[in-house]
Amino acid sequence: MILTTGSAGFIGSNFVLDWLTQSDEAVINLDKLTYAGNLDNLATLKSNPNHIFVHGDIGDAALTAKLLTQYRPRAVVNFAAESHVDRSIHGPEDFIQTNIVGTFHLLEAVRAYWSGLTNTEKAAFRFLHVSTDEVYGSLDRDEPAFTETRRYEPNSPYSASKAASDHLVRAYHHTYGLPVLTTNCSNNYGPYHFPEKLIPLMIVNALAGKNLPVYGDGQQIRDWLYVKDHCSAIRCVLQNGKPGEVYNIGGWNEKANLDIVHIVCDILDELSPPATHHLPFSTYRSLITFVTDRPGHDRRYAIDARKIERELGWKPAETFETGIRKTAQWYLDNQAWVNNVLSGSYRQWVEKNYTERT
């Protein structure tokens, strides 16, 4: 079996769902259930004996050690992280505690467990750390995309905390020999995405007839990766990746934020026109509102994903056009899930982060 952390969140829950669809290998799912951790994401696994959920924190070294000893997993996949740049600007301490200190405690527990394995078990064991392209900093429009050898230049408390965790993972391989793998992915989108990030926020706000807040001029460029493609890449790296190596995972879909918002609006105009919701306008594009940019907003990210394709044979299955349509349809088909996450605390956060920028 494998142990995953932070896998009641967006990417982690998609990974667990896909894993148990394709494998009989059990998963121990350790999650702290902060605001973005949602057991509704895993509702279809309630009666699945191969899914063992444990409510806990990667910073709790005693709990992690107990789980490792009890279940003896062959691999650990670390999704656990605070991941929203805007939240890191308003309150960086949680990011330091989870992404740096939490990763340290997790590595210590895993190192102690791994040290007690037989030589055969040690050789087969893997610790896979899921990270982000934001650790590389910002690109000019004409610069080449990020490769795995790009210098780290994080520009936000979030990306700085993830960069620190990446360095810790690397150090535990080079110092102790722990067989680690690191993946740095581009912007994910897809089902179960908490609606603080761009695409789900636009979908949820549009269907409610609310403003669609776009930072600055909306020309910040990101590479977009459908979450299920990301999950398949992680499975590929876990199975075939070389210990100590870093693999960039991207969707080969560079688009400006404003273009993303236009695409989402146009798809919703087609799939769920404003008139069906008794909204007093003919196109969702009329809701677009430009707001004050966030501090230090990186202008462009782009992932060069040739290494993982060349060495491991992985490439994304979805284009942005197919993936974004599936995503919009999922939100339309899962309004109960959406309504459950739109709590009072969520509304307060949106008010703090967006309305005050207008």
Cβ 157 vs Cβ 81: under 8 Å: no
Cβ 299 vs Cβ 140: under 8 Å: yes
Which of the residues 86, 134, 196, 318 is marked catalytic? Answer: 134
The residue written with tokens 């394995």 in the block is 117
Active site residue 158: yes
Distance in angstroms (rounded) separating the CA atoms of residues 202 and 280? 18
Which of the residues 158, 172, 226, 247 is marked catalytic? Answer: 158
Cβ 154 vs Cβ 134: under 8 Å: yes
Phi, psi torsion values for 5, nearest 5 degrees: -120, 145
Cβ 303 vs Cβ 250: under 8 Å: yes
Distance in angstroms (rounded) separating the CA atoms of residues 171 and 287? 48
Active site residue 133: yes
Edge-to-edge strands, sheet with 221-226: 187-189, 221-226, 254-256
Which of the residues 133, 196, 223, 318 is marked catalytic? Answer: 133
Active site residue 229: no
33: region left, alpha or beta (phi > 0 left; psi from -120 to 50 alpha): left
Q: In the chain, where do the E strands start and end?
A: 2-5, 27-31, 51-55, 75-78, 126-132, 180-185, 187-189, 212-215, 221-226, 246-249, 254-256, 288-291
What SS3 string covers 219-282? CCEEEEEEHHHHHHHHHHHHHHCCCCCEEEECCCCEEEHHHHHHHHHHHHHHHCCHHHHCCCCC
**N-to-C CA span, the chain:** 49
Catalytic positions are: 133-134, 158
